[in-house]
Structure 1
Amino acid sequence: MKTGFKFSNLCGTVYTAGNLIFTPDGNSILSPVGNRVSLFDLVNNKSLTLPVEMRKDIKLMALSPNATLLVTIDKDGRALLINLPRRVLIAHFNFKAPVKAIEFSPDGKWIAASHEKYVEIWKAPGFNREFAPFVLHKTIGGHYDDILNISWSPDSKYFLTSSSDMTARLYRMDAPKDYVPQTLAGHRNSVLGAWFSDDMKSIYTISKDGALFNWQYQTKAALLGDSDEEDEMDVDSEEKRMDQKRWRVAGKHFLNQNGVKVKSCAFFAPSNLLVVGLSNGVFGLYEVPSFINIHTLSISQHNIDTVAINRTGEWLAFGSSTMGQLLVWEWQSESYVLKQQGHYYNMTSLSYSGDGQTLATGGEDGKVKVWNTTSGFCFVTFSDHKSNVMAVEFAKQGKVLFSASLDGTVRAFDLVRYRNFRTFTSPNPVQFSSLVVDPSGEVVCAGTTDTFEIYVWSVQTGKLLDILAGHTGPISSLTFSPVGMILVSGSWDYTARSWDIFGRSKQVETFQHQNEVLAVAFRPDGREIAASTLDGQIAFWDVENGKQVGSIEGRKDISGGRKVNDRTAADNAASGKCFNSLCYTADGSSILGGGNSKYICIYDIDTKVLVKKFQISNNLSLDGTQEQLNSKYMTEFGSKELMDVEDSSDVEDRLDHTLPGTQSGDLSVRRTRPEARSMAVRFSPTGRSWAAATTDGLLIYSLDDTILFDPFDLEIDITPETVMEALEEKEYLRSLCMAFRLNEKSILHKVFEAIPPGSIDIVARTISEKYLDKLLQFIGVHMEHSPHIEFHLMWVVSVMTAHGRYLKEHRGEFQSVFRTLHKSINRVRDDISNLCDTNTYTLKYLLNQQNITARNNSINH
């Protein structure tokens, strides 16, 4: 079995904290997800996560104007320099202080970063070999408190800073030694943003209390209307009055919302648009300098932590760290371009569909989410459960999804109409902790935590068929035999039991263990089961003979990571380390296990040897990722890392607005850091990838199989002449592939139109899968303008017939192509339908005219 699995994507979490950045083309958005960065392609409906991790959660990002260099900074001030197109880490850097603002200059030569109350100007890294990627140019002071925002002028000669000291300051890059920066004072709260207008004749500042100031570079006389006198002054008089010419307030505007503070803001200079995100979850779009409200929308009930505007000013992006929500809103059409949200709390379970293209997750927030593994997006969310969802399972070739919850219900969801079509309940209120569906999808079973029973229902009728009793502890896991009708259950009563639920004898086989059984899994051939126990062991049992055939001691393998409150080292803290989830690989030769640890292990079953160990996170913001703790953070009162050092100096940030009785758990317990662990692991039925529901989100690891070999790639001299020569020699497949590689529309159009209809089928069957995307995209676009309707339809039918299975397996990658084809075929159908209707009406008219003429002739005669 291949074990070269590499990190592929991160789903389930779309935004945690920090700022959002649109790429310069405006089609993609960068979002910080824990200590990683996710890139969402809003046009092609895809997402990917960069294979680069930081030490701690990302708090700030900056992108160069040409979208080649990405700087990410964590909350300690440590930074990474990343080549975004290549997705490669270039360098590490430490600013040695928390950074709250960083910005590239529009010409890409400078980087301005805040260093508490100072501004540091760095030379932007180049593409030449350098000793140090960051070179400090100069440090500028002037503020009395932390700098919150930095913005550059369009010509990169000036930049504005806004600070918590309630002022904004204007600096020059080529300032002389005696230069004094202009101070823009007058706000009564922290200034969150300051920007230049597009013509650099105005400056706009906004503070936390919702006050917007418009500043003009004028004299007192100009503000009073006496500007003609100043225009006629000579040079001497101008120098005399130079002390009176400065940036002055030309207008003040206020939001006037009681108890609501501005949390984020962004300015789009070409259209003079200002976007303001408020603490009550409402955002407003305003036109400056008139401050006219263009649009207002409530998107949540929590703070809007960040706002971004794309290059054209059409799309607005919002991020809420409390909800873990990412929204992209098109304000002109008032529609969502992207609306994604992960689970509010931890994920508890996951399941793969039969084709491996879809993943379902259940969470502690009572929601069931379904994800596309190719695009990385959640396309449906079910919120029917009222408590934790403990298990999810697919059935009926991925068309039906089952979920079990602690609210005492098992629900079946239709993934075609997206509705909850059946709910299974028990005669007495119970809490369901495990779930399994038989291979035919006709029977669903769920185990309980309080009555220690297994309930069996019929999916067709929804009736309770049987109640299996015998366990004396909570049911932790259930699994069905892939080939037979045997059900195996694991329980905290130190046993795993096999049940013949369809047989008349109701035969029960008991597999005794030395500790609580936490997970059970069937081998794909149905002859062996694996059971993990609380002492970190995995036991293998022969189902037919009821004998144990082997075991794996995995406690030392999965143990690792020391928590902040641990009194012992990581090597001696192996107690409690065990596998909470097990899954066989697709071929049954290995087994995958994960639990309350930062590691996920793969074992070879024949040799009982650890094959590979994956570390799910290197994020030091999580508990349990370090092997050794730093003694300098330990005090007599505990660890400094547990202290809340976030910026919550404002009164409204410290107030608790929740209603009494709405929180669960012990309210006296101190808030602790989340722990790095995996709640569930599952292998894809295709055997090419596996997924883990972790604290960071839904991690997907896959084999690198994206490279397709094409023999035409070996050609060196591909020119328009060689393409036309191949076409004249009637080598249609070769000429078409060469035209795709040349990528010139005129040449491609000639080659495509020159292929005779009789050769379409053989060319479609023999064309490489590498060119299917380009071919179908070309057909979809070309069909709208070409009169050869049947010719294009023959191409579509031939390609779909020859490569239908491949297209179905990779349908997530071809979604945009399918949409283009569907749109083109519908347009052609509508045109033909309209033409037929017009011809029909024309013929009827002519026939009626003929009848009228004949009738008139008969009357005249």
Structure 2
Amino acid sequence: MKTDFNFSNLLGTVYSRGNLLFTPDGTCLLSPVGNRVSIFDLVNSKSHTLPFAHRRNIARLALNPRGNLLLSIDQDGRAILTNVPRRIVLYHFSLRGEVTALAFAPSGRHFAVGIGRQIEVWHTPSTPDVADGDLEFAPFVRHRVYTGHFDNVHSIEWSSDSRFFLSASKDLTARMWSLNPEDGFEPTTLGGHRQAVLGAWFSKDQETIYTVSKDGALFAWNYVHRPDATPEMEEDDENMQWRITDRHYFMQNNAHVTCASFHAESKLLVTGFSNGLFSIHELPEFAQIQNLSISQNDIDFVAINKTGEWLAFGASKLGQLLVWEWQSESYVLKQQGHFDSMNTIAYSPDGQRIITAADDGKIKVWDVNSGFCIVTFTEHTSGVTACEFAKRGNVLFTASLDGSIRAWDLIRYRNFRTFTAPSRLSFSSLAVDPSGEVICAGSIDSFDIHIWSVQTGQLLDRLAGHEGPVSTLTFSPDAGTLVSGSWDHTVRVWNIFARTQTSEPLQLMADVLCVAFRPDSKQIAVTTLDGNLTFWSVSDAAQQNGVDARRDVSGGRKMSDRRTAANVAGTKSFSTVRYSADGTCVLAGGNSKYICLYDCQSGVLAKKFTVSVNLALEGTQEFLNSKLLTEAGPQGLIDDQGEASDRDDRIDRTLPGARKGEGARKTRPEIRVPDVAFSPTGRAFCAASTEGLLIYSLDTVFQFDPFDLDITVTPATTLSTLAQKEYLKALVMAFRLNERNLVRRVYEAIPVSDISLVVKDMPTVYLGRLLRFVALQADESPHLEFNLMWIEALLSKHGRWMKDNRAGLEAELRSVEKAVKRIQIELARLADENIYRIEYLIAQPVGTKPRVGQLEIKVNGEEDDDEDEEMADEDAEDGDGEWIGFE
């Protein structure tokens, strides 16, 4: 089995904190998600996460005007410069301070960054595709430092000619600066607000400056004469100054302004408030266009795209991300992640959807291809602890601490059945019979296993035998056996469909946390609280292998730990384990920043995946930094909320002892992996972590992965071989280069008559790649018959070899099956539509002709007369005719 899984995408979280960005063309939105950046394509409805990760949460993002360079800066001031189209990190750099504002100049040659109360302007690194030079050795060169503010800078806005920029600060003022010394210009201070200034902007003609403060005041500034100037003094430009010419106020009762943005071309001012409202005003008249509530909490940031049509809002408390089209008053994007920790995940049997369930009681369905949440179920009133699909994939079952098991229809998206016990129990584990007829659940309150009928919803039986809470349940894939694990140090194997429901206990040395069945139903993997991973034979009830995984899962220390990261193995264990699709490997995760992949037969650690390097989470740092130690203990554990400068930040709304919900204490979250799942194809796996749903995949489009390459194989030689009509050789060379566009070009150039010959002589080492490529083309390209002929040739020529090597071709065969089924459904629907059209044509009265534009048809073997033809022509010219054809 391949082990070179790489990070592919991040789901489950759409916005954390920081600023939002639209790309210059206005079609994509960039959102910071913890220490990563997600890009949402609003036109094609897709999202992806850039592969790099910061060591802290991202504070600010900025794109250059061309949209190819992304500058992201974390809370410690460390910057990463990324090439966005190629998703490649170019430079790492430290700005040595907390960054509060960041903006590129419209010329793209400079960017300004607010570090505390100072502003620094830096030269933008050039790229090879820029005409003015190659890449520099020292890419970040500081142009100038601007001082004058007395508190943190909130925003920076450039003029359209890139000569001046405005800065808004917490010190109640806004200031205007010049990039280079200008004749007759001196830095100007705009004072008059009574609270912190959140933003300052130039009008389109740069004759007016608008400033907005936290208390809801909007000031308009113009360059006018002094009020005490005489007519003689008015002729002198030295007697002119920036003065407030207009004042407006947002009346929002007790709410204050949290963010604002101005679009100079359309003169739109968008402001967000602490009560979840936002308003749109047109300046300079201050005419209100819209006022809408989109959240129950603060709106943290607002951004406007280039055309001024779309508004993006981010609310960090609940992780909401919205894109609003204000003219049509409709949502372009409305996404929200889980605002509490995820507990369990499940792949749908077709591998196209992932289910996540969390402590907030919500169940979300995520589309793997688009990265968006399709639907959210909120019927559970407490945390959801387990979820599992029925084998057909259209029914989902979930267990919750609210004492209910619910069945969900994923075609109509509704809850169609609810299962409860005679007494109120908090269910913690769940298992579904592969036939979908029986469902079992275990509880942390009762030691019995409850069994219900899915059809009737009635409680069928309760299995007694465990002497502790049941922590895990699973059915064997062949539907013959139920296995349960408990805190009483035993795993029990039940045959619930037999006449006598006997169970055979397997004794272990510690509390059982998770049990997983191998796909062939002959072996189970068990994880226990002492950090061991053991493999047992189901038929013999004997242990076959075991791994002491404490050293593998340990790593990363909390801020309060007295021991080093290497010595915390006593508190580490795997809480979840899953078999791969072919059953040769297991994937395990737990209260650690690592996910481990083990070979089942040898027990060897095949690969170790690091979930997160974010130092804002507990359990990610390896060494203790003595610089952060104080007399009162670690600096990060000291609560400084009462010393905040703003009154709203000083208020403590937490409830004593609460760990979940809105009143919970806001401590540093701990990194953990509560659940992992392999995709049915085996080419990807996902992991629920503190930061979100991480997807790791073998299919990386942007990676160059040549196969059996030598110096004579190049794209040029491949195309020349194709021109010589050596189709098999050209196809093999394209597969060796493994460049998708080249493979498609060779594939589509092979004549239909030569398909069977090429497939017959294809070496077996390339068959898996060819099968996967043909299945992909059947999904993407419009050449239905051409792709089906390739599939038919592959299955007829190499069917026996594929059957013998089915374990290694599981993913490819599933893809082919899915593609053929999709084509069959589409053709059947098309045929049904044509049947009705043909019936309509046949049902026409003899001697009359349906209106078909200029289409000439025969009725009873005779052509229509000239008069009818003239009438049809007139109808066609008038545009009244209707074309009736066959698809």
User: Within the alignment, does 1:319 sit opposite 2:314 as a pair?
Assistant: yes
CA distance in 2, matches of 1:704, 1:403: 30
The alpha-carbon deviation at position 551 of structure 1 amounts to 1.1
Partner residue of 1:523 out of 518, 531, 536: 518
Preserved contact between residue 259 and residue 271 of structure 2 (Cα < 8 Å): yes
* Deviates further, 767-776 or 571-580: 767-776
Does the aligned pair in 2 maintain the 1:151–1:194 contact within 8 Å?
yes
2:74 is matched with: 74
- Find the aligned partners of 1:43 and 1:823 in 2 and give their Cα distance: 28
Local SS of the residue matching 1:510: strand
What whole-Å deviation, never above 9, does each CA across 1:12-69 have from its counterpart, x for those lacking one? 0111000000111111111111111111111111111111011100011111111121
Report the Cα distance in structure 1 between the residues aligned to 2:608 and 2:195, rounded to whole angstroms: 51
Once superposed, what is the RMSD of the aligned Cα atoms?
4.4
Partner of 1:43: 43
Letter in 2 for 1:653: D
- Write the distance in 2 (CA, Å) between the matches of 1:835 and 1:205: 69
Quick one: which amino acid aligns to residue 339 of structure 2? Y
Match of residue 248 from structure 2: 253
Deviation of 1:241 after TM superposition, in Å, equals 2.4
Say if 2:194 is the partner of 1:198: no
Determine if contact 2:340/2:661 at 8 Å carries over to the other structure: no
Unaligned stretches of 5+ in structure 2? 128-133, 761-769, 796-810, 858-863, 869-887
Say whether the 8 Å CA contact 1:356–1:686 is kept in structure 2.
Answer: yes
Give the distance between the partners of 1:321 and 1:800, measured in 2 at CA: 49
Out of 536, 554, 560, the residue aligned to residue 549 of structure 2 is 554
Match of 1:439 in 2: 434
**Residues 106-165 of structure 1: per-residue CA shift (max 9 Å, x gap):** 010001111222211111111223232210111112222211100001110111111111
- CA 379–809 in structure 1, closer or farther in 2 if over 3 Å, else same: farther
Query: 5 Å matches for 1:241-640?
Result: 241-640=236-635
Structure 1 residues 353 and 769: CA distance shift in structure 2, 3 A: closer
SS, match of residue 556 in structure 1: helix
Hey, what's the Cα distance between the residues in 2 that align with 1:796 and 1:830? 28
CA drift of 1:704 comes to: 3.1
How many aligned residue pairs are there? 803
Q: Which residue of 2 aligns with 1:141?
A: 147
Deviation at 1:536, TM superposition (A): 0.2
Matched, 1:164 2:159: no
Q: Secondary structure at the match of 1:205?
A: strand
Residue 397 of structure 1 aligns to a residue in which SS?
Answer: coil
Task: Give, in angstroms, the shift of residue 87 of structure 1.
Answer: 1.2
Q: Which amino acid aligns with 2:68?
A: T
Q: Map Cα deviations across residues 718-745 of structure 1 (whole Å, 9 max, x no partner).
A: 99xx99x999xxxxx99xx9xxx9x9xx
CA distance change for structure 1 residues 19 and 821 in 2, over 3 Å: closer, same or farther? farther
Match of 1:185 in 2: 191
Q: Counterpart of 1:11?
A: 11
Residues 355 and 809 in structure 1, CA contact (< 8 A), matched pair in contact too = no
Task: Give me the whole-angstrom Cα distance separating, in 2, the residues matched to 1:535 and 1:22.
Answer: 49
Match of 2:649 among 643, 646, 653: 653
Encode CA deviations 1:599-634: one digit per residue, 9 max, x unaligned: 111111111111111110000000111111111211
Map of 2:56 onto structure 1: 56
Amino acid at match of 1:106: P
Residue 798 of structure 2 is matched in structure 1 by none
Q: Distance in 2 between matches of 1:179 and 1:596?
A: 59
* Post-superposition offset of 1:77: 1.2
What SS does the corresponding residue of 2:500 show, helix, strand or coil? coil
* Cα distance, 1:808–1:551 mapped onto 2, change above 3 Å: closer
Percent identity over the alignment? 50
What's 1:699 paired with?
Answer: 694
Give me the whole-angstrom Cα distance separating, in 1, the residues matched to 2:196 and 2:829. 51
Structure 2 distance, partners of 1:504, 1:840, is: 69
Q: Is the 8 A contact 2:771 2:816 kept in 1?
A: no
| 1:641 match: secondary structure | helix
Structure 2 match to 1:857: none
Partner SS state of residue 265, structure 2: helix
Instruction: Tell me the alpha carbon deviations over residues 653-686 of structure 1, each in whole angstroms, 9 at most, x when there is no partner.
Output: 333568x899666999964211111000111111
Distance 1:460 1:675 in 2: 41
Separation in 1, partners of 2:176, 2:829: 52
In structure 2, what is the Cα distance between the partners aligned to 1:538 and 1:403?
26
Q: Give the Cα separation in 1 of the matches to 2:156 and 2:53.
A: 26
Deviates more, 1:446-455 or 1:171-180: 171-180
1:91-240 map, 5 Å: 91-127=91-127, 128-176=134-182, 179-220=185-226
The CA distance in 2 between the partners of 1:407 and 1:667, in whole Å, is: 18
Distance in 2 of aligned mates of 1:312 and 1:825: 44
Q: Secondary structure at the match of 2:360?
A: coil
Q: Is the Cα contact below 8 Å between 1:357 and 1:812 reproduced in 2?
A: no
Q: Is the 8 A contact 2:658 2:664 kept in 1?
A: no
Q: How many angstroms does 1:538 deviate by?
A: 1.1
Task: Answer whether contact 1:372 1:812 (CA < 8 A) is retained.
Answer: no
User: What one-letter code is carried by the residue in structure 2 that aligns with 1:542?
Assistant: S
Tell me the CA shift for residue 839 of structure 1: 6.8
SS at match of 1:100: strand
- Structure 1 range deviating more: 457-466 or 425-434: 457-466
User: CA–CA distance in 2 between the matches of 1:677 and 1:23?
Assistant: 34
Q: Structure 1's 177 and 469: CA in aligned 2 closer, same or farther, altered over 3 A?
A: farther
- Aligned to 1:101, the other structure's residue is in SS state strand
Structure 1, 664-673 or 297-306: larger mean CA deviation: 664-673
CA distance 1:832–1:293, change in 2 (3 Å): farther
Deviation at 1:317, TM superposition (A): 0.6
Give the superposition deviation at 1:544.
1.0
Is the contact between residue 484 and residue 492 of structure 2 (CA under 8 Å) also seen in structure 1?
yes
CA separation of 1:776 and 1:35: change in aligned 2, threshold 3 A: closer
- Counterpart of 2:883 in structure 1 is none
Q: Aligned partner of 1:466: which letter?
A: D
Provide, for residues 272-322 of structure 1, a one-character-per-residue CA deviation record: whole Å limited to 9, x for no partner. 111111101111111111111111211110000011111111111111110
Q: Report deviation, 1:257.
A: 1.6
Equivalent residue letter for 2:222:
Q
Q: Is the 8 A contact 2:380 2:402 kept in 1?
A: yes
Mean Cα deviation higher: 178-187 or 569-578? 178-187
